[in-house]
């Protein structure tokens, strides 16, 4: 009797290997998914930025190397100053490729095929740039960017519509992110169209005047689309705590443009790494100070954002 009780009550040996410990708790594939989500690195993606060589001579190569060191995705812009293949040669981390949709679909098709050959994992279709916003600083400076804007406005497909997703699916065999969603209604349409992710984005305030602050869109969009599409919050990330806020409100990850560009401008690749390390350290500190252990455990009640936005200072 005592023997059989002992065999029933026998404690399992303590598992010292953390990977084995995690796997022991996974009863099915859904459990593995949950564990994987908790373990994913810094929930951040480097946003596509054109003409990045303006910030440092290495440009996109510096940024891509910095992202790879932090094990976060780097998104190469269609307007990059380095070729897809050059970036692939120096970046062994995850790479995404951003697409502006040219009227000339032959050109877009060629870019998609080069992105696939270079190992890009996802494409990011930017949908907020049917024509280029009026960058008044460029106008005042009478800079070459104004001519570029005219060129772009002539080349980009202003008739882009939801139906074009079929064309992309026929020419790209991987995840699709729609970047530039700015309303709950469009987020729902994107989920209905079964894209993999949406980047809520106002293009860093460079396109539509009076566009919504992206952080304010995250919660209503998350409520409307549920788990049907991943949400990326793009814009205004200057602190690790901004990432925590966006994720708590329902984003899967954030994208950042200026934060890494400032780092690049300050000290090239090393500067971009420094910017990402700052965001990472701030995020960890904010997690600790708010008593949070896993990004996947963050919930909206952590954020008193509505009250603080509406209360007078
Ligand atoms: C200098 C610069 C160039 C950009 N170029 C592109 C681009 O080529 N394609 C694109 O989809 N978005 C572009 N963006 C927008 C970024 O991808 C991103 O949406 C924006 O920077 C996010 O805001 P943040 O700078 O506050 O992080 C650019 C932004 C900046 C600042």
Q: Look at residue 218 and tell me if it is in a domain.
A: yes
Q: Look at residue 6 and tell me if it is in a domain.
A: no
> Is 203 one of the catalytic residues?
yes
* pLDDT above 70: percentage of residues in the chain: 90
For residue 308, report the distance from its CA to the centre of ligand 1, in Å.
27
In sequence order, the 6+-apart residues with CB closer than 8 A to the CB of 231 are 187, 197, 198, 200, 218, 221, 222, 225, 250, 251, 252
- Is the pLDDT reported for residue 12 higher than 90? no
- Is the pLDDT reported for residue 311 higher than 50? no
Q: pLDDT higher for 305 or 137?
A: 137
pLDDT recorded at residue 37: 65
Under the banding of pLDDT at 50, 70 and 90, the label for residue 305 is low
Pocket test for ligand 1, best of 44, 46, 48 (most atoms within 8 A of CB): 48
- Is the pLDDT reported for residue 11 higher than 70? no
234 lines ligand 1 (CB under 6 A): yes
Q: Look at residue 160 and tell me if it is in a domain.
A: yes
Q: What's the pLDDT tens digit per position in 247-259?
A: 999 999 999 999 9
- Is the pLDDT reported for residue 113 higher than 90? yes
Angle (CA) 213 216 217, round 5°: 95
130 lines ligand 1 (CB under 6 A): no
- Is the pLDDT reported for residue 288 higher than 50? yes
Q: Look at residue 302 and tell me if it is in a domain.
A: yes
Under the banding of pLDDT at 50, 70 and 90, the label for residue 132 is confident
Q: Look at residue 64 and tell me if it is in a domain.
A: yes
Check which CATH number belongs to the domain holding 266 and give it: 3.20.20.70
Residue nearest atom 2 in ligand 1 by C-alpha distance: 49
pLDDT recorded at residue 150: 84
Q: Look at residue 26 and tell me if it is in a domain.
A: no
For residue 177, report the distance from its CA to the centre of ligand 1, in Å.
15
The total number of structural domains that make up the chain: 1
Under the banding of pLDDT at 50, 70 and 90, the label for residue 39 is low
In the chain, alpha helices (H) = 2-9, 18-24, 29-39, 60-69, 84-90, 105-117, 136-141, 144-155, 164-171, 184-192, 214-225, 240-249, 258-289, 305-310
Instruction: Domain of residue 203: give its range.
Output: 41-310
Q: Look at residue 34 and tell me if it is in a domain.
A: no
For residue 34, report the distance from its CA to the centre of ligand 1, in Å.
31
**Which among 203, 219, 245, 252 is annotated as catalytic?**
203
Least confident segment among 104-113, 151-160, 213-222 = 151-160
180 lines ligand 1 (CB under 6 A): no
- Is the pLDDT reported for residue 145 higher than 80? no
Residue nearest atom 1 in ligand 1 by C-alpha distance: 49
Q: Look at residue 24 and tell me if it is in a domain.
A: no
d(C-alpha 173, C-alpha 188), whole Å? 23
Give the pLDDT mean for 10-34: 80
Tokens coding 170? 């026929």
82 lines ligand 1 (CB under 6 A): no
256 lines ligand 1 (CB under 6 A): yes
Q: What's the pLDDT tens digit per position in 146-180?
A: 677 888 889 999 999 999 999 999 999 999 999 99
Residue nearest atom 14 in ligand 1 by C-alpha distance: 49
């Amino acid at each position: 009797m005592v023997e059989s009780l002992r065999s029933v009550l026998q404690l399992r040996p303590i598992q010292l290997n953390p990977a084995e410990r995690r796997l022991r708790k996974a009863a099915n594939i859904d459990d593995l998914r949950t564990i994987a989500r908790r373990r994913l690195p810094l929930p951040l993606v480097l946003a596509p930025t054109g003409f990045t060589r303006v910030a440092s001579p290495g440009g996109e190569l510096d940024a891509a190397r910095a992202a790879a060191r932090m094990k976060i995705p780097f998104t190469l812009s269609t307007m990059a100053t380095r070729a897809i293949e050059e970036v692939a040669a120096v970046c062994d981390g995850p790479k995404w490729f951003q697409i502006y949709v040219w009227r000339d679909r032959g050109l877009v098709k060629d870019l998609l095929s080069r992105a696939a050959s270079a190992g890009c994992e996802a494409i990011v279709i930017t949908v907020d740039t049917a024509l280029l916003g009026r960058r008044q600083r460029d106008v005042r400076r009478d800079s070459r960017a104004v001519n570029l804007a005219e060129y772009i406005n002539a080349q980009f497909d202003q008739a882009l519509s939801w139906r074009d997703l079929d064309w992309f699916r026929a020419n790209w065999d991987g995840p699709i992110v729609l970047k530039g969603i700015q309303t709950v209604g469009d987020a729902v349409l994107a989920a209905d169209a079964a894209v993999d992710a949406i980047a809520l984005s106002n293009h860093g305030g460079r396109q539509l005047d009076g566009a919504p602050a992206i952080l304010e869109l995250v919660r209503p969009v998350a409520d409307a689309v549920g788990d049907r599409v991943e949400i990326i919050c793009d814009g205004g990330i200057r602190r690790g705590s901004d990432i925590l806020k966006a994720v708590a409100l329902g984003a899967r990850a954030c994208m950042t443009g200026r934060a890494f560009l400032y780092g690049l401008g300050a000290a090239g690749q090393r500067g971009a790494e420094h910017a990402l390390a700052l965001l990472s350290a701030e995020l960890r500190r904010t997690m600790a100070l708010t008593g949070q252990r896993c990004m996947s455990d963050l919930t909206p009640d952590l954020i008193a954002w509505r009250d603080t936005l509406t209360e007078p200072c």
